[in-house]
Amino acid sequence: MRTRSRVTAAGAILGALALAASACGSGSSDAADSTSSAPAAASSTATGPAVDLSGVCPSTVVVQTDWNPEADHGHLYQMLGPNPSIDSNKKSVTGDLYANGQPTGVKLEIRAGGPAIGYSTVSSQMYQDKSITLGYVSTDEAVEFSGKLPTTAVFAENDKSPMVVMWDPAKYPGVTDIKSLGTALQKTGGVVRYFSGAAYMEHLIDAGYLAKDSTDGSYDGTPAKFVTDQGKSAQQGFATAEPYIYQHEIKAWDKPVKYQLIADTGWDPYPETMSVRTGDLQKLSPCLQKLVPVMQQADVDYFKNPAPTNDLIDKLVDSYNNGWTYDAQVGKFAADQMKSLKIASDGPDGYVGDLDTARVQQFMNVAVPIFDKTKDAGVKSGLKPQDLFTNQFLDKKISLGF
């Protein structure tokens, strides 16, 4: 399960700390209306052969995301055709599903997650609402709920999770990674703040990266505590957002942070994989055979020219107007980070979107014992990697090329 951390409730932060977030969307006249039109993503300028999804896919392919629109979801919004319709009440956007610059004969509806679904997991949302065709389910969530809410990943748009632990390099000049941060925090009495219940923190404690008394599950997604304690403590974040936001948009901080990807500590799930309910895999296979390569190509096209899709994402954030902020500068930073940190990359076989059996097994070796300790464990007995994903629909010729 992907636990999100983003700068939220900007008004409350401003009141408490006079934090100014420059150039961030904070509302729109669209919020008063149920629907409005958005600018086209770059999908309408892509080129290639026509793809017909009518007859094999649902008339509207519904995708449930795990958070507000952001550049990390660029491949998905890339598939929207010109002038999609925004429903600011339902926090969703619907338009023609485009492939290679042409309509495919079906619609695409993208639903926001996080606050829009009461912060519930995507897996639970998919089982509550059977109109959802695909959902963003990270490998850790898929493992945790494999017994009760089984899902099968069919496309991994990103290869590595951008989740990080971040700290103040001025306060901790000798710290180079989470392990050395843990040693430093023991000396200063600082902690790593995180969202309570995050399984990766149990891994960091069990693996000796952090002492339990150096962790604090009180993080609420705002920068308030990080700023007020002047960097004594660290916190969770995302490499695709917080490093830019803290340096450039939170004026009460306004300086760099350092970080390490949690994926590099051995907690390495595939993030936000496009997944279906396992029981629907066979029924959806004719659709997925055509749709998954479209998603692969959309991922490639997004990174060739992310700006138009990022503009659409910013428009959606502004229209949804739920207290979360995101702007074009963050979107550009995120796209660059995904490339430079290999968050987005081809899989081990040289094409985009595949999941590796050995890697999934290695993650299960780490994660299953942690999930089995929870009160309401939902891990499938005898779980195997092939229970969690399939690469059968991927086109091996489609590569990110970087």
With 80 as the cut, is the pLDDT of residue 1 above it?
A: no
Residue 309 belongs to a domain with what CATH number?
Answer: 3.40.190.10
**6 C-beta neighbours (distance < 10 Å), count:** 19
Contact predicate 40/88, CB 8 Å: no
- Range 172-187 average pLDDT: 98
366 within a domain of the structure (yes/no): yes
Q: Kindly report, residue by residue over 37-64, the tens digit of the pLDDT.
A: 666 565 656 667 899 999 999 999 999 9
CA terminus-to-terminus distance, the chain? 28
Of 265, 282, 302, the position where a domain reaches its end is 265
Output phi, psi for 48, to 5 deg: 150, -175
Contact predicate 11/323, CB 8 Å: yes
Output phi, psi for 136, to 5 deg: -80, 110
Return the minimum-mean-pLDDT range out of 23-27, 68-72, 242-246, 278-282. 23-27
211 within a domain of the structure (yes/no): yes
Is the domain of 37 the same as that of 154?
yes
190 within a domain of the structure (yes/no): yes
Contact predicate 174/243, CB 8 Å: no
pLDDT at 348: 84
Is the domain of 227 the same as that of 316?
no
Is the domain of 115 the same as that of 168?
no
Is the domain of 100 the same as that of 143?
yes
Is the domain of 154 the same as that of 167?
no
- Range 111-140 average pLDDT: 97
Number of domains within the chain: 2
Q: Kindly report, residue by residue over 258-299, the tens digit of the pLDDT.
A: 999 999 999 999 999 999 999 999 999 999 999 999 999 999
**Cross-strand partners of 35:** 87
Of 214, 247, 265, the position where a domain reaches its end is 265
CA distance 364 to 142: 10
Is the domain of 232 the same as that of 258?
yes
Is the domain of 37 the same as that of 155?
yes
26 within a domain of the structure (yes/no): no
207 within a domain of the structure (yes/no): yes
In this predicted model, which residue has the larger pLDDT, 358 or 197?
A: 358
CA distance 11 to 9: 6
Is the domain of 84 the same as that of 39?
yes
With 80 as the cut, is the pLDDT of residue 78 above it?
A: yes
**340 C-beta neighbours (distance < 10 Å), count:** 11
CA distance 315 to 317: 6
With 80 as the cut, is the pLDDT of residue 6 above it?
A: no
CA distance 356 to 270: 10
Sequence letter at residue 193: R
Is the domain of 217 the same as that of 285?
no
Could you tell me which of 22, 11, 12 has the C-alpha nearest to residue 253?
22
CA distance 262 to 349: 24
Q: How many residues does the chain have?
A: 402
pLDDT at 28: 37
| Matching residue, tokens 């639970």 | 124
23 within a domain of the structure (yes/no): no
171 within a domain of the structure (yes/no): yes
pLDDT at 373: 86
pLDDT at 324: 84
CA distance 75 to 109: 14
Q: Kindly report, residue by residue over 138-153, the tens digit of the pLDDT.
A: 999 999 999 999 999 9
Return the minimum-mean-pLDDT range out of 25-39, 307-321, 365-379. 25-39
Residue 207 belongs to a domain with what CATH number?
Answer: 3.40.190
- Range 197-211 average pLDDT: 96
pLDDT at 280: 98
In this predicted model, which residue has the larger pLDDT, 8 or 42?
A: 42
With 50 as the cut, is the pLDDT of residue 9 above it?
A: no
With 50 as the cut, is the pLDDT of residue 5 above it?
A: no
In this predicted model, which residue has the larger pLDDT, 324 or 368?
A: 368
pLDDT band at 334; cut points 50, 70, 90: very high
With 70 as the cut, is the pLDDT of residue 4 above it?
A: no
With 50 as the cut, is the pLDDT of residue 20 above it?
A: no
Secondary structure of the chain in the HEC alphabet? CCCCCCCCCHHHHHHHHCCCCCCCCCCCHHHHCCEEECCCCHHHHCCCCCCCCECCECCEEEEECCCCCCHHHHHHHCCECCCCEEECCCCEEEEEEEECCEEEEEEEEEECCHHHHCCCCHHHHHHHCCCCCEEEECHHHHHHCCCCCCEEEEECCCCCCCEEEEECCCCCCCCCCHHHHHHHHHHHCCCEECECCCHHHHHHHHCCCCCHHHEECECCCCCHHHHHCCCCCEEEEECCCHHHHHHHCCCCCCCCCEEEEHHHHCCCCCCCEEEEEHHHHHHHHHHHHHHHHHHHHHHHHHHHCCHHHHHHHHHHHHHHCCCCCCCHHHHHHHHHHHHHCCCCCCCCCCCCCCCCHHHHHHHHHHHHHHHHCCCCCCCCCCCCHHHCECCCCCCCCCCCCC
- Range 329-343 average pLDDT: 97
pLDDT at 42: 58
pLDDT at 2: 45
Is the domain of 359 the same as that of 383?
yes
With 90 as the cut, is the pLDDT of residue 377 above it?
A: no
pLDDT band at 35; cut points 50, 70, 90: low
Per DSSP bridges, beta strands 234-238 and 163-167 are antiparallel
Of 243, 265, 287, the position where a domain reaches its end is 265
Is the domain of 97 the same as that of 126?
yes
Q: What is the mean pLDDT of the chain?
A: 90
Could you tell me which of 223, 333, 302 has the C-alpha nearest to residue 43?
302
Task: Provide, rounded to the nearest whole percent, the portion of the chain with pLDDT above 70.
Answer: 88
Is the domain of 59 the same as that of 119?
yes
- Range 22-40 average pLDDT: 47
- Range 378-401 average pLDDT: 96
- Range 371-387 average pLDDT: 88
Q: What is the pTM of this model?
A: 0.90
Boundaries of domain holding 154: 33-159+271-324+332-387
CA distance 346 to 248: 31
